[in-house]
A and B are shown apart, each in its own frame.
Chain A
Amino acid sequence: MSNTEPLYVLRGLSKQYSRGKETIPIFSGLDMEIAHGEFIAIMGPSGSGKTTLLNQLGGIDSPTTGEVTFDGKRIDNLGQGALAKWRSDNVGFIFQFYNLMPTLTAAQNVELPLLLSPVKGSERKKRVATALEIVGIGDRAKHYPRQLSGGQQQRVAIARAIVADPKVLLCDEPTGDLDRTSADEVLEMLQLLNTKMGKTIIMVTHDPAAAKYAKTELFLDKGKFIKRGGKK
């Protein structure tokens, strides 16, 4: 698949949840294309469907109707096992609360995605060290999450997200739990990963200041994109 083709193609994407007899639509008939190397910030009020959309893109939730195509292959109709394999091969997740394993060191946390690949032990160690160096906390490799600040923990999470060299990074409010300084450091890091390493980044955020780091800003409200902005 050539890089001129979009990385993601969403066609007629709908998602609704059932609560008893009540059906709650999140979005419906959403069409969207995301190019390789994009850095998109998706903004919108609570309940607008930002995170739900991110879940569809990451294959951790399935759409009610519609198609999600990634790099030319549909992923919305994959089984659990195939979807897990697809995620490990293609997606790096960054969450608001870092989602690190508290009983593992920074290096061990970063190593987790590599355990799903055929990479050998010594090579894994090298890749982990490189990932930690990239995010600037190589000296914290043996620290446990509780020994790190919020910003440092999020850097570990970023290292974990990039260590297996995925095509896309999906970030759910990555600075939502950080002070401004740490948030800016993390956002600069993401920007660097996008510009220098060519990672496609899709970030959900409430924070307009965070969205400014993206190339494209999308505003989602009541299940529809209502405004586009950003540097592009």
Chain B
Amino acid sequence: MFKQISALTKLNIRSIPQRWGMSLATVFSVALVVLVLMAFLAMANGFRATLSGSGSTEVAVMLRKGAQAELNSGVSLAQLRLIREAPGIARNADGNSIVSGELYVIVDGLKRTTMTDVNLPLRGVEPDALVLRQGLKITHGHMFSSGSNELIVGEAILREFAGFDLGSEVRLGTATWKVVGVFSTGGTVFESEIWADAGSIQSLYQRGSGYQSVRAKLDGADGLKALQDWAENEPTLDLDIITEKEFFSSQASGITNIILYMGWPLAIIMAFGALAGAWNTMYASVEARTREIATLRAIGFAGFAAFVSTLVEALLLAFVGGLVGSMIAWLVFNGISASTLGGNFTQVVFAFEVTGEAVQSGIVMALIIGLLGGIIPSIRAARVPLLSVHSG
């Protein structure tokens, strides 16, 4: 039977050039579906990678209990002072705990590509913020001075949004700020932020002495547990304490899911169109070869061999479509920089990532289209009337 299937499959494949137009249309429509799906997957993967890659397991993030994001959180100065004395937090050479009280403010920005207004995050930080972000480097200029209207901006901000060039002055809220430095964190979400002195933000944005979040360097593997246990028993603290990695993972999942919930249904709807195309092509293929198939069956080839070989042709066309779609997706999307609204209602800059897993999903989808589009024509091929051998 294998010899029969193999011979008929080769026959089918060799006859594809006789139906170039329809075969190409099938390949193209499947490629388009895969391309759209891959675009969404690449976006979701890129966004997830940027956020998930941002967090450290050695840093704790503290937000007001129940707050989903820094934007709707609040931590008082008294609470911050208490946290500085908490167990489980690492200390520097001077014996001071490594802690940064931080503020998170939304400011206006202008996207370079579309020249549209967007929300950007302005983060007020304390000096320990630099220690708390692994791999942070000032790549141009210098760190802002404490108490000044100076800013440093992430490399993604500089790349994607207008007006933040080194040395330029920028109007944010009621104040004018000067960009004195550019920093890199190796592609993490922090590069989509603008940083200034926490005290200056409190003052210019009327935040009093309060903060919105606190970051602390954990003292070893047991640090988080010690900190959480201590906070549980501290009646003046009402905080959620998790690692920074967990924090960003939870932030990533919401937006990533939205992207995927949009991407998959759209790809599936388009897949129905491609399915019709594959169906048509395979029907045409069987119709065009009715006499050939009948002749082969008259010679003694089994209907099952005709069924499998037709299905293999459909799967092959779909597979080629899947590969083409994946290749175009990789060439067009992989690594391109984009920004979208993150969990804090501010822009997060990320790079599209066409991963092996996404390619796999695309190919599987293509094969499903091939299978569903090819199965009925394949049954038809298996049931071609033998009397068709006499058709002219």
Residues of A within 8 A of B (CB): 51, 55, 58, 60-61, 80-81, 84-85, 87-89, 93, 95-97, 99, 101-104, 112-113, 115-116, 160, 172
> What chain A residues lie within 8 Å of B3 (beta carbons)?
115-116
- B387 close to A55 (CB less than 8 A): yes
Minimum CB–CB distance for B265 against chain A, Å: 40
Please name the 10 residue pairs, one residue from A and one from B, whose CB atoms are nearest each other, closest first.
Answer: A88-B300, A103-B14, A60-B386, A99-B295, A116-B300, A87-B300, A115-B7, A103-B15, A115-B3, A84-B300
- A61 close to B386 (CB less than 8 A): yes
> What chain A residues lie within 8 Å of B298 (beta carbons)?
58, 60, 87, 93
- B299 close to A95 (CB less than 8 A): no
- B299 close to A103 (CB less than 8 A): no
- B300 close to A60 (CB less than 8 A): no
* Contact of B169 with A by CB under 8 A: no
Minimum CB–CB distance for A143 against chain B, Å: 15
- B390 close to A51 (CB less than 8 A): yes
> What chain A residues lie within 8 Å of B287 (beta carbons)?
none
> What chain B residues lie within 8 Å of A87 (beta carbons)?
298-300
> What chain A residues lie within 8 Å of B303 (beta carbons)?
80
30 contacts between A and B (CB under 8 A): A58-B298, A60-B386, A60-B387, A61-B387, A84-B300, A84-B302, A85-B300, A87-B298, A87-B299, A87-B300, A88-B300, A89-B300, A93-B295, A93-B298, A95-B295, A95-B390, A96-B390, A99-B292, A99-B389, A101-B11, A101-B292, A101-B295, A101-B296, A102-B18, A103-B14, A115-B3, A115-B4, A115-B7, A116-B4, A116-B300
* Contact of B66 with A by CB under 8 A: no
| Cα A115 to Cα B386 with chains together (Å) | 19
Chain B residue with the shortest CB-CB distance to A177: B392
Interface of A is mostly: helix
Given A87-B300, A101-B292, CB of A112 within 8 Å of CB of B7 = yes
| Cα A60 to Cα B18 with chains together (Å) | 28
- B389 close to A95 (CB less than 8 A): yes
| Cα A188 to Cα B301 with chains together (Å) | 30
| Cα A84 to Cα B296 with chains together (Å) | 10
* Contact of B291 with A by CB under 8 A: yes
Interface contact tally, CB-CB below 8 A: 66
| Cα A55 to Cα B386 with chains together (Å) | 9
| Cα A112 to Cα B11 with chains together (Å) | 11
> What chain A residues lie within 8 Å of B392 (beta carbons)?
97
| Cα A97 to Cα B291 with chains together (Å) | 10
| Cα A96 to Cα B391 with chains together (Å) | 10
Minimum CB–CB distance for B8 against chain A, Å: 9
| Cα A172 to Cα B291 with chains together (Å) | 14
Minimum CB–CB distance for B386 against chain A, Å: 4
> What chain B residues lie within 8 Å of A116 (beta carbons)?
3-4, 299-301
Q: Which of B257-306 contact A (CB under 8 A)?
A: 291-292, 295-303
- B297 close to A84 (CB less than 8 A): yes
| Cα A55 to Cα B295 with chains together (Å) | 13
> What chain A residues lie within 8 Å of B14 (beta carbons)?
103-104
- A81 close to B389 (CB less than 8 A): no
- B389 close to A103 (CB less than 8 A): no
B291-332 vs A, Cβ < 8 Å mask (1 yes, 0 no)? 110011111111100000000000000000000000000000
